[in-house]
Amino acid sequence: MSFTPIFPGSVDAAGRPATLGVMGGGQLGRMFVHAAQRLGYFTAVLDPDPASPAGRVSHHHIVTGYSDAEGLKQLASSCAAITTEFENVPADALQALAACRPVTPGAGAVAIAQNRIEEKAHFTASAGVAGVTCAPYAVIETSEQLQSVAADLLPGILKTARMGYDGKGQARVNNVAELAAAWNGFEQMPCVLEKLLPLKAECSVIVARGWDGAIVGFAPQYNVHVEGILAVTTAYEGNMPPALAQRARVATESIANHIGYVGVLCVEFFVIDDGSADGALVVNEMAPRPHNSGHYTMDACDVSQFDLQVHAMAGLPLPQPRQHSPAIMLNLLGDIWCDAAGQPRAPDWQTVLALPGTHLHLYGKLEARVGRKMGHLTLTGADITGVKSMARQAAKILSLPGLDALE
């Protein structure tokens, strides 16, 4: 697709500075805004929360719902291009914006990510070029489909087709009775049942694809989740067997190319124990945006995932990122702002920030709650042994989970 680049420092016909817009005002929007402003762009955020992290640091904050026609009109009139910070923004709102402004990613790509049934069909059609498949699964939308589920899909994970994230909308089921109970518990919403596979590890790949089809990306990173929420990401040379890393990268690029994707895309994979030394890859899900597992790129790479998000939407060249330091990212949830009795406390930043190679990012959220993503801590250094040592110390000071991943 042809696209006229929106260069930093440019102005429109009315003399207004080039403004980039984002649907959503959370931490991903905040980090996008910072990256865009560093290049000299003005920014606009549409989010209903007047205290949203991104809205509070942007030039313009349109405080309204994502489907509000007047708000969408205001965003379109003030912006040269628009992106989204999360996949659950209404796809039809993105479609409406695309009628008059470039929108990345497109509504079609976001709609696929919003529906696990469509997402798995897309993976089946695109990821096979790298020999990567989905976990065996069944679609359950009716009682008849529930009753005809193959026995070899159990035990499995039942997932709602829509609105599931950070472990929400999921239930482990061991037999037919538990499956039926879980589906009823989800109010018989459309679901996907995935066969439970022997998991060795989880990894993700982040790429950016431009309007011209050019694609760049980061090496795969390993991830550890605790109760469905990302806890630890490790990223360093030799982190993953080369052949496995290559298959993950090829599959991710194919997933992006298959739908003419424009923007930053994260694809998450399971590494399955199939008896081989490296294991086999199974594609799990995609996020049409920068991703929590890529936050380390802000401190360990010369180009971050948010820099690439800005470049892709504005039609600027996409530089291939180089990672200059091994890195470990620790997610910071609201739990660490509470003591064992549930009383508020301040984390021991004094001790943590004295550790060499620490980079603290807090998201500007005004209220810490259990399970709420409040920030992240990235550890970098000259070698992975030293980085792991510092990460273990930081995790112990802050009582963070996932320490096993740092051994």
pLDDT digits (tens, 9 = 90+) for 327-373: 999 999 999 999 888 889 999 999 999 999 999 999 999 999 999 99
Separation CA 382–CA 262 (nearest Å): 34
Task: Cite the annotated binding site for ATP by residue number.
Answer: 116, 159, 164-170, 194-197, 202, 225, 284-285
CATH 3.30.470.20 boundaries in the chain: 199-401
Give pLDDT tens digits for 268-291: 999 999 999 999 999 999 999 999
Q: What is the pLDDT of residue 160?
A: 95
CATH 3.30.1490.20 boundaries in the chain: 136-195
**Average pLDDT value for the chain:** 95
Whether residue 105 is preceded by a cis peptide bond, meaning omega within 30 degrees of 0, is yes
pLDDT score of 229 more than 60: yes
Task: Cite the annotated binding site by residue number.
Answer: 116, 159, 164-170, 194-197, 202, 225, 284-285
pLDDT score of 383 more than 70: yes
Closest CA to 191 of 127, 155, 137: 137
Enumerate residues 6+ apart whose C-beta is below 8 A from 291: 204, 206, 266, 305
> Tell me, which fold does domain 199-401 have in CATH?
D-amino Acid Aminotransferase; Chain A, domain 1 (3.30.470)
Separation CA 90–CA 83 (nearest Å): 13
Give pLDDT tens digits for 300-325: 999 999 999 999 999 999 999 999 99
Q: What is the pLDDT of residue 167?
A: 64
Q: What is the pLDDT of residue 270?
A: 96
Q: At what angle do helices 116-126 and 242-258 cross, to 10 degrees?
A: 110
pLDDT score of 166 more than 70: no
pTM: 0.95
pLDDT score of 1 more than 60: no
* SS (HEC) of 185-201: HCCCCCEEEEECCCEEE
Give pLDDT tens digits for 187-214: 999 999 999 999 999 999 999 999 999 9
Q: What is the pLDDT of residue 272?
A: 96
CATH 3.40.50.20 boundaries in the chain: 19-104
Q: What percent of the chain has pLDDT over 90?
A: 90
Q: What is the DSSP letter of 336?
A: G
CATH superfamily to which 136-195 belongs: ATP-grasp fold, A domain (3.30.1490.20)
Enumerate residues 6+ apart whose C-beta is below 8 A from 148: none
pLDDT score of 140 more than 90: yes
> Tell me, which fold does domain 19-104 have in CATH?
Rossmann fold (3.40.50)
Rounding to the nearest 10 degrees, give the CA dihedral for residues 243, 248, 250, 252. -170
| CA dihedral over 206, 208, 209, 215, signed as positive or negative | negative
Residue 72, SS3 per DSSP: helix
Q: What is the pLDDT of residue 404?
A: 82
Give pLDDT tens digits for 255-270: 999 999 999 999 999 9
